[in-house]
Structure 1
Amino acid sequence: MTDELLVVRAQLGEHAALAELLARWRMPVWIYVRRMLDADRADDVTQEIWLSVVRGLPRLRDPGRFAPWLFTIARRSVADRLRGEYAQAGETSGAGDMVVDDPAEAMVDRAALVSVLSGLPVLEREILVLFYLEDLPVEECADICQIPAGTVKSRLNRARRLLREHLEEKGYRP
């Protein structure tokens, strides 16, 4: 069953369809949020995201655009959390040190990648996560981030350059 059909059925009040949508998208959303925040904050923000989804689903006009809509909510929730913490700490930058490595990561290369990603600025990290790790096309990344496709491409270029520089600093060579 497609997401579009599940959304329509959920909008009509079918609880099983909503439960299936949540089950289908629970891990992709948590993984996206986890790549932007540490595990404790990811759990809290993910719960906020699903609350927003359940509340907003009846107003979703184009059920075929569920995934970009969902990731837009996730992006805003992550940004709101970071913004609130930055304001609280009185900082205007330095989001890179906010992510903590997940001890459950089994592979050394994966742990190194997560560590390097955490050192990137939030905007570049976000684009890399959406494009490469969530496999979203440039157009959907643009919709989610509410920026032109050209800006997504330029952020991807900058993010790849920064990632390459960080990897070279850690001793990895292309």
Structure 2
Amino acid sequence: MTDELLVVRAQLGERAALAELVARWRMPVWTYVRRMLDVERADDVSQEVWLAVVRGLPRLREPGRFVPWLFTIARRSVADRLRGEYVREREGLVASDVVVGDPVEAMVDRAGLVDALSGLPVLEREILVLFYLEDLPVEDCAQICQVPVGTVKSRLNRARRLLRERLEEKGYRS
């Protein structure tokens, strides 16, 4: 059954269709959010994303565009969390922003890549995550980020260059 059909059925009130959508997209959404934030914040933000999906699904006009709509909600939720933390930090309420490491990833060989990725500016990290790790086409990335396709391409180019530089600084060779 397609996502579009599940969305329509969920909009008509079928709980099983909504449950199927959540089952299909829970991990991809969590993975995207996790790649933008640390583990603890990813759990909280993912829950916020699904709450927004449940509330907004009846108003989704184009059921065939569910995936970009879903990732747009996830993107906004991540941005809201980062913005809120930045404001609290600027007000002095947060002494330091320590990223909690994932012990499993620390043992995996790709720890350097994860570290380099997390060190990128948010816009560049976001576009790499959406395009390469979530495997979304440039057009969907543009819709999610609410920028033109050309901007996505230039951000991808800049993000690749920045990631390459960070990895080379850590001793990795291209």
Runs of 4+ in 1 over 6 A off after TM superposition: none
**Aligned ranges for residues 91-170 of structure 1 at < 5 Å?**
99-105=99-105, 108-170=108-170
Residues 125, 22 of structure 1: alpha-carbon distance in 2 compared, 3 angstrom cutoff? same
Paired residues of 1:37 and 1:100 also in contact (CA < 8 A): no
Q: What is the deviation of 1:98?
A: 6.0
Residues 14-48 of structure 1, C-alpha deviation per residue, up to 9 Å, x if partnerless?
00000000010000000000000011101110010
Describe how 1:1-174 pairs up with structure 2 within 5 A.
Answer: 1-90=1-90, 99-105=99-105, 108-174=108-174
8 Å Cα contact 1:33-1:74 kept in structure 2 = yes
What RMSD in Å do the two structures reach over aligned CA positions?
1.4
Structure 2 residue runs of 5 or longer lacking an equivalent are: 92-96
How many Å separate the matches in 1 of 2:81 and 2:98?
A: 11
Q: Aligned AA for 2:110?
A: R
Q: Between the two proteins, what is the percent identity of the paired residues?
A: 85
Unaligned runs of 5+ in 1: 92-96
**What's the TM-score once normalised by structure 1's chain length?**
0.93
TM-score, length basis structure 2: 0.93
Look up the SS of the partner of 1:123 in the other structure: helix
Q: 1:82 to 1:99 in 2, by over 3 A?
A: same
Instruction: Give aligned pairs, total.
Output: 169
Deviation, structure 1 residue 99: 4.4
